[in-house]
Structure 1
Amino acid sequence: MAEPFDAVDIIRTKRDGGSVSEPALRWLIDAYTREYVQDAQMSAFTMAVLLNGMTRDEIRVMTDAMIASGERMSFAGLGKRTADKHSTGGVGDKITLPLAPLVASYGVAVPQLSGRGLGHTGGTLDKLESIPGWRAALSNEEMFAQMQGPVGAVICAAGSGLAPADKRLYALRDVTGTVEAIPLIASSIMSKKIAEGTESLVLDVKFGSGAFMKDYAKAKELAETMVALGADSGVNTTALLTDMSTPLGLTAGNANEVRESVEVLAGGGPADVVELTVALAREMLQMSGIDADPAEALKDGRAMDTWRAMIRAQDGDPDAALPTPKETHVVTAERDGVMTRLDAYDVGIAAWRLGAGRARAQDPVVHAAGIDLHAKPGDAVKKGEPLFTLNADDPARFDRALEALSGSYEIGESAPEATPIVRERIASA
């Protein structure tokens, strides 16, 4: 059967700054998924999108076509409200770990389909796999049962059936310099989240040195685009723009981030991690019609009970010892003063070089590797006191990690002005 459109015509339209019609755009995504449209042609199209952008309607159609390329889940039979969170990723961003059980402890089902880390940003599944026995791969039946039952929350790997067009397109963008195109990022994230079937979604869109979108204005544009896509698809969506100039919390790695998350669930933990966890939980609860202060469930142990049940439900042992590093190296302060700057990107690169992350999708991660921070901007430090502890299984990794950290921080005379983590909230008009 003859194809109704020609990929070259569609590429020319976008190259020349025009809008691609809905039928043509739907055909393009479908034809690429079934490998009729070649990678070379889709590369030309994605570069044209990067340079010329897309209209809101084009982004909506593209997202919908990517959803249509695979299965669409529905949680209508759960008998519970569903709420999910997506973060654009950062350094020390372990928020999903305390957030999912915290929201579930209020009776909201949380389907947190998560990913693995690549480069300087860590992956939620890699962190949780530090827990002995814990299993990321669940069948749809296991996932539904866990959400419907008393646990209510699930953090697991997304099945290959959700938006398969995105999987091909994502890999292509990675090798063609088109990752940064906002229409492509927005349709990639939202096609998976809408296909997942959640009723409401909170987006944690980060900006700053450790974020995927470093520029605030671009991060805001991305947030607005994704909130609009959610609204167009009937998913109640809000976004918080959050600062990722400095790492979140006092850990960057895998096992050490799990430890810190458990501290938060026990009613302690670093103030910034608690603040962002509570802010996102409040959004998710409000969208589910629950007016409550989620900080209470961190204090009274409800969230911790749900965490333990969630880990056990996926064959993990919440009481097991987490991996510890074979080797450590401590970086100390060269002078008295106040830490005035700590660059999230540099810390993320250092943790990655220690073995906490991966350079290629197939690489293993070292669960005990990473960095523990002993000071953050605003903290007073004394000469000779520890600033960072580097954790690795192979001491040969320390030199390159120290290179990454060498210009990552400054010690001055006075504390910098404190800035809020949550900078702005964006909801659909």
Structure 2
Amino acid sequence: MSEFAAVDVIRAKRDGAALSDAQIDWVVDAYTRGEVADEQMSALAMAILLRGMTPAEIARWTAAMIASGERLDLSAVTRPTADKHSTGGVGDKITLPLTPLVAACGAAVPQLSGRGLGHTGGTLDKLESIPGWRASISNDEFKRQLQDIGAVICAAGDGLAPADRKLYALRDVTGTVEAIPLIASSIMSKKIAEGTGALVLDVKVGSGAFMKDLETARELARTMVRLGQDSGVNTIALLTDMSTPLGLAVGNALEVTESVEVLAGGGPSDVVELTVALAREMLTAAGIDADPAKVLESGAAMDTWRAMISAQGGDPDAPLPVARENEVLRAATDGIVSSVDAYGIGVAAWRLGAGRARKEDPVSFGAGVLLKVKPGDEVRAGDVLLELRADDPLRIPAARATAAEAVVIGAERPTSTNLVLDRIA
């Protein structure tokens, strides 16, 4: 007979009380084991969303999530370890060029990534557009690749923070995704359990991000940095703009192509800028003195990319999937592009088949949006603003309507904004 009852824990948080360490330990463990039902954890998650948690509660909740599974021991890896986590955005393919770049600078990057849901893309979906590449590898393969190549991007194993996997799926269908204590503990439980020594958080802000305003993003960043530092992980956060899509490609294979362009010394300036900025932070946090901009120019990061893809069964030279249907959207008037709304473009890509509405849905690897303009560009009536790509032509009309609203043409040049908005350490 348990000393706790789920309903008592729910009532306590519903009424604004701070949960005790024992209550938190019990409810996370009991939920993982199936003793606490989904509907009870749903009620508790909603109470946490509405009532919040103290820093001590969040720290204990995160520790309980970590304790629900295994912790990876990376002590045998001779390079300093550094990882990055993004809170998710539109066109956010930064993990793809960043991981081999930081590895080429001398770090080991144990990048556990996820899949896309809704308007935000997932790193694993992007990489799975490469023929043969596999997301799931064993812990032994993970450590060996980390030592030999310095770069791994893969799915988290079933043994890592299993409480988070159950709770994450529940939050998605109960309107509690936005709860900062639950976001912070979800991200940090996995990152601490993976065993990295340094962590850089890319907290997105804007229409295409979960955090729409700067203050909420700062609160989340501070919470996660504190959790990391208290657990012995050298953690810093950059707040970065997600009001406009990153780069020009939104969609799985399209973003892989753009990432390879960056590794080859080209690619859109904003993708290069953010990749190098995050690489600098990761290397500094890991205690490595290297200039990632020079390493990117040298081509060494491309060599690491090829080795990383090949090690997980992928063919870095194989042609990527191309969608069967292609339609362009043209400017109706002369003017200046005043904004390209990240959320609208993300929804358009999702409607074209690049994303999924439910975790079990398949994705179309070739589908997505190719932008031909960015804010500040001058256009003439009839100029192509973007391309819509889909395997199913029936998906195009709804995506076209959404994409058309996302690109706004005005008379005045918009004020430029910084890509990196703030740094929290």
| Partner residue in 1 for 2:58 | 59
- Total equivalences in the alignment: 425
Amino acid at match of 1:358: R
Report which stretch shifted further, 406-415 or 383-392.
406-415
Q: Distance in 1 between matches of 2:37 and 2:319?
A: 49
Matched, 1:124 2:118: no
Query: How big is the shift at 1:200?
Result: 0.7
Amino acid at match of 1:129: E
Q: Secondary structure at the match of 1:78?
A: coil
Amino acid at match of 2:208: G
| Partner residue in 2 for 1:264 | 262
| Partner residue in 1 for 2:348 | 350
Counterpart selection for 1:206 from 204, 207, 229: 204
Query: How big is the shift at 1:92?
Result: 0.2
| Partner residue in 1 for 2:405 | 407
CA contact (8 A) 2:333 2:382 kept: yes
Q: Secondary structure at the match of 2:165?
A: helix
Q: Secondary structure at the match of 2:265?
A: coil
| Partner residue in 1 for 2:49 | 50
| Partner residue in 1 for 2:40 | 41
Q: Secondary structure at the match of 2:196?
A: coil
| Partner residue in 1 for 2:79 | 80
Report which stretch shifted further, 183-192 or 33-42.
33-42
| Partner residue in 1 for 2:334 | 336
Per-residue displacement from partner, 1:261-306 (whole Å, max 9, x unpaired)? 0010011110100010001000000011112221111111011111
CA contact (8 A) 2:329 2:404 kept: no
Q: Secondary structure at the match of 1:240?
A: strand
Amino acid at match of 1:69: S
Query: How big is the shift at 1:8?
Result: 2.1
Q: Distance in 1 between matches of 2:125 and 2:354?
A: 9
Query: How big is the shift at 1:366?
Result: 0.7
Amino acid at match of 1:14: K
Query: How big is the shift at 1:4?
Result: 2.1
Q: Distance in 1 between matches of 2:224 and 2:371?
A: 33
Amino acid at match of 1:193: K
Q: Distance in 2 between matches of 1:12 and 1:250?
A: 48
Counterpart selection for 1:363 from 361, 367, 372: 361
Q: Distance in 2 between matches of 1:347 and 1:78?
A: 40
Counterpart selection for 1:236 from 224, 234, 237: 234
Amino acid at match of 2:382: G
Q: Distance in 2 between matches of 1:359 and 1:251?
A: 20
Q: Distance in 2 between matches of 1:305 and 1:414?
A: 44
Matched, 1:5 2:10: no
Q: Distance in 2 between matches of 1:104 and 1:292?
A: 11
Alignment of 1:40-189 (within 5 A): 40-149=39-148, 151-189=149-187
Q: Secondary structure at the match of 2:211?
A: coil
Q: Distance in 1 between matches of 2:396 and 2:23?
A: 52
| Partner residue in 2 for 1:217 | 215
Per-residue displacement from partner, 1:35-76 (whole Å, max 9, x unpaired)? 111222212211111111100000000000000000110111
Q: Distance in 1 between matches of 2:392 and 2:195?
A: 43
Query: How big is the shift at 1:10?
Result: 1.7
Query: How big is the shift at 1:320?
Result: 1.2
Q: Which runs of no fewer than 5 residues in structure 1 stay unpaired? A: none
Q: Distance in 1 between matches of 2:293 and 2:128?
A: 27
Amino acid at match of 1:144: K
Alignment of 1:287-326 (within 5 A): 287-326=285-324
Q: Which runs of no fewer than 5 residues in structure 2 stay unpaired? A: none
Report which stretch shifted further, 340-349 or 175-184.
175-184
CA contact (8 A) 2:107 2:288 kept: no
Q: Secondary structure at the match of 2:353?
A: helix
Q: Secondary structure at the match of 1:201?
A: strand
Q: Distance in 2 between matches of 1:343 and 1:192?
A: 31
Q: Secondary structure at the match of 1:406?
A: helix
Counterpart selection for 2:375 from 365, 374, 377: 377
| Partner residue in 1 for 2:19 | 20
Query: How big is the shift at 1:86?
Result: 0.4
Q: Distance in 2 between matches of 1:45 and 1:311?
A: 41
TM-score, normalised by the number of residues in structure 2: 0.98
Q: Secondary structure at the match of 2:92?
A: coil
Q: Distance in 1 between matches of 2:410 and 2:213?
A: 26
Report which stretch shifted further, 404-413 or 219-228.
404-413
Q: Distance in 2 between matches of 1:245 and 1:54?
A: 29
Query: How big is the shift at 1:336?
Result: 1.8
CA contact (8 A) 2:329 2:385 kept: yes
Query: How big is the shift at 1:385?
Result: 1.3
Q: Distance in 1 between matches of 2:398 and 2:301?
A: 39
Percentage of matched positions with identical amino acids: 68
Amino acid at match of 1:106: C
Deviating beyond 3 angstroms after TM superposition, the runs of 4 or more aligned structure 1 residues are none
RMSD, aligned α-carbons: 0.9
Q: Distance in 2 between matches of 1:198 and 1:72?
A: 10
CA contact (8 A) 2:101 2:295 kept: yes
Q: Secondary structure at the match of 2:280?
A: helix
Report which stretch shifted further, 118-127 or 403-412.
403-412
Q: Distance in 1 between matches of 2:338 and 2:47?
A: 41
Query: How big is the shift at 1:132?
Result: 1.2
